[in-house]
């Protein structure tokens, strides 16, 4: 009887932990937007606090310890005006991945192994130490990375390049045209040492490289994002430059499509598609028969971003439950 009750309590904890992990992951995937919304930031803090409390009650010290680290660092974000950047987001996601792995151990067919859990905690310690140091540097007003240098005439050079891009788009699609567009993106990297600016240009090059992405789709999107990024770059706000999800999706498909075949190829699985039910701003939708479908990238976090755009909350919960049942 006691064992049955213990199993019920464990089930409740795992179910609640999944919900809290989902809250944390969604908040971290777009940390800049989360930081701009105090309620969303409070949700991250409360989610980590709840997992920490439940783990302590059940005696899972490793889960308690990692959740405590996240809770402390979320409190730092809550109590201070910090401008998040990509390195900060990546460090938080690495710490979160450890917490997620520990919770998944609870569902292992071999049971929760304390030695394995402790190994995960030890591996994550340097990550949390680096995260703490990074936050301290941001709080002191220092820079955790080298100062960004931008050419004084960057605005004029960018506008001239955008005019060339427009002319190339108007000339019609061709392999030579795509090559010239990609080369222009490469030259524009010289405008600044900003890693965010370089990432935008790399993403743009990836989207251009995929011939399936039409000029009609690419032209307005690229010109708009380059103008917005240029404005941020020339006003010393380069850390705010982030490629849109639409552009990332186009580039990710290019990356997957350009991968060379293995020497002894194994038949790949068919592309994963998910039905779309009238999302407000859907990723690129295709019609198969009379059903609207959306392409999902093969990289897990990129796939998560597409699904978050494509489904509403109720659909996401249903999808998560189905996936969890399928892998158990």
pLDDT tens track for 133-143: 888 888 887 44
Separation of alpha carbons 211 and 222, rounded Å = 15
- Give residue 239's pLDDT: 83
Lowest mean pLDDT among 24-38, 241-255, 271-285, 286-300: 271-285
| Tokens read off for 311 | 């489904």
Q: List C-alpha distances in Å: 232 to 19, 161, 197, 227.
A: 36, 17, 10, 9
Judged by average pLDDT, the poorest of 53-67, 192-206, 245-259 is: 245-259
User: Is 142 within 8 Å of 154 (Cβ atoms)?
Assistant: no
- 19 pLDDT more than 90: yes
Tokens of 48: 């980590």
Q: 58 vs 5, 45, 53, 64, CA distance in Å? A: 13, 20, 9, 10
Write down the pLDDT at residue 147: 59
pLDDT for 272 equals 45
> What pLDDT was estimated at residue 185?
92
User: Residue 107: is it exposed, middle or buried by C-beta count within 10 angstroms (0-12/13-18/19+)?
Assistant: middle
Which architecture, in CATH terms, is 2-139?
Up-down Bundle (1.20)
Q: What are phi and psi of 279, to 5 degrees?
A: -70, 160
Q: Among 232-241, 282-291, 307-316, name the most confident range.
A: 232-241
pLDDT of the residue at 283: 55
Buried-exposed string 300-311: b where 16+ CB fall within 10 A, e elsewhere: eebbbbbbbbbb
Lowest mean pLDDT among 167-171, 174-178, 201-205, 276-280: 276-280
Mean pLDDT within 68-72: 93
Residues of the chain with CATH 1.20.120.160: 2-139
Candidate from 226-230, 249-253, 269-273, 313-317 with smallest mean pLDDT: 269-273
Give the integer Cα–Cα distance in Å for 47 and 70.
Answer: 10
pLDDT of residue 324: 66
Quote the CA–CA distance of 18 and 26 in Å, as a whole number. 12
pLDDT reported for residue 152: 84
Does residue 280 have a pLDDT over 60? no
Q: Tell me, what's the pLDDT at 253?
A: 56
Q: How confident is the model at residue 235 (pLDDT cuts 50, 70, 90)?
A: confident
In the numeric block, the tokens 């990297």 are attached to 189
End-to-end Cα separation, the chain, in angstroms = 25
With a cut of 60, say whether residue 148 has pLDDT above it: yes
Taking residues 99-116, what's their average pLDDT?
83
pLDDT digit string, tens, across residues 118-130: 888 888 888 898 9
Contacts 24+ apart (CB under 8 A), 65-69: 65/121, 66/95, 66/98, 66/99, 66/102, 66/121, 66/124, 67/99, 69/95, 69/124, 69/128
Q: How far apart are CA 208 and CA 249, in angstroms?
A: 12
Residue 272 falls in which region: left (phi positive, over 0), alpha (psi -120 to 50) or beta: beta
Cα–Cα nearest to 299, from 250, 256, 254, 265: 256
């Amino acid at each position: 009887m006691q064992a049955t009750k213990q199993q019920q309590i464990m089930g409740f904890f795992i179910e609640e932990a999944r919900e809290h992990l989902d809250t944390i992951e969604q908040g971290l995937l777009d940390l800049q937007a989360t930081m701009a919304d105090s309620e969303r930031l409070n949700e991250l803090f409360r989610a980590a606090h709840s997992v920490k409390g439940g783990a302590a009650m059940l005696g899972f010290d490793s889960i308690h310890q990692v959740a405590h680290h996240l809770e402390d660092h979320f409190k730092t974000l809550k109590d201070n005006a910090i401008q998040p950047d990509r390195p900060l987001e990546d460090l938080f996601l690495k710490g979160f991945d450890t917490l997620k792995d520990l919770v998944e151990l609870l569902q292992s067919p071999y049971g929760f192994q304390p030695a394995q859990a402790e190994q995960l905690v030890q591996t994550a310690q340097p990550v949390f130490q680096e995260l703490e140091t990074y936050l301290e540097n941001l709080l002191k007003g220092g820079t955790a990375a080298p100062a960004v240098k931008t050419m004084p005439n960057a605005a004029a050079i960018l506008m001239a390049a955008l005019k060339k891009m427009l002319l190339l788009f108007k000339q019609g699609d061709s392999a030579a045209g795509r090559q010239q567009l990609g080369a222009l993106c490469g030259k524009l990297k010289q405008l600044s040492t900003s890693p965010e600016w370089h990432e935008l240009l790399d993403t743009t090059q990836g989207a251009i490289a995929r011939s399936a992405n039409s000029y009609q789709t690419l032209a307005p999107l690229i010109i708009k994002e380059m103008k917005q990024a240029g404005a941020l770059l020339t006003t010393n706000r380069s850390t705010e430059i982030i490629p849109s999800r639409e552009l990332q999706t186009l580039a990710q498909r290019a990356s997957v499509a350009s991968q060379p075949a293995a020497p002894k190829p194994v038949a790949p699985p068919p592309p994963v598609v998910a039905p779309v039910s009238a999302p407000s701003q859907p990723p690129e939708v295709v019609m198969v028969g009379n059903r609207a479908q959306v392409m999902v990238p093969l990289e897990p976090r990129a796939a998560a971003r597409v699904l978050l755009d494509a489904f509403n909350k109720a659909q996401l919960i249903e999808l998560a439950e189905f996936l969890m049942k399928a892998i158990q």
